[in-house]
Amino acid sequence: MDSRGFSSQMKDSVPVAGFCPQGSYGLQDALRSGFSSIKNELLPSHSLELSEKNHQLNKEKMNLSTVRNIQGLHAPLKLQMEYRAAQQIQRLPFLPSSNVALESLRGGDEMIGFEDVLNDPTESEMMGEPHLMVEYKLGLL
């Protein structure tokens, strides 16, 4: 069989749910990945909006560069290693994780923000079948 015949067979094939990144039939799987938002795909409407979205990241970069200038190269590397270790601590996929360790490392436990008041984990919209979510997280599905 030549390669041209094989490629023509591949064009006519039906996408399988496991191989298609968007799910079967080309649609997003809302059960596993949540609802899509068009607002995230739009360009920022104001020049400060992009700056505000990246504020925490820019603040961390500035803090790490300041620590590097004062204490040397080892200090920001140690902090980044601690951040990565704290990010890997998670609960099961169907339970909301508070990320207390990461929040205390970054100093967010001392401040009360907008998300602390209006983002109550008990009112989360993400709830699903626990066994299905764990199997998806482990890559069994």
Residue whose structure tokens are 């990945």 = 33
How does pLDDT run across 32-85, given as a tens digit for each residue? 777 777 776 776 677 788 888 898 899 999 999 999 999 999 999 999 999 999
Please give the structure tokens belonging to residue 83: 């951040």
How does pLDDT run across 94-136, given as a tens digit for each residue? 777 778 898 898 888 888 877 777 766 666 666 678 888 888 8
pTM of the model: 0.54
**Structure-model confidence comparison of residues 11 and 139, the more confident one:** 139
List the one residue out of 103, 75, 74 whose CA is nearest residue 87: 103
Amino acid at 3: S
* DSSP state letters, 17-48: TTT-TT-GGG---HHHH----SGGGSPPSSHH
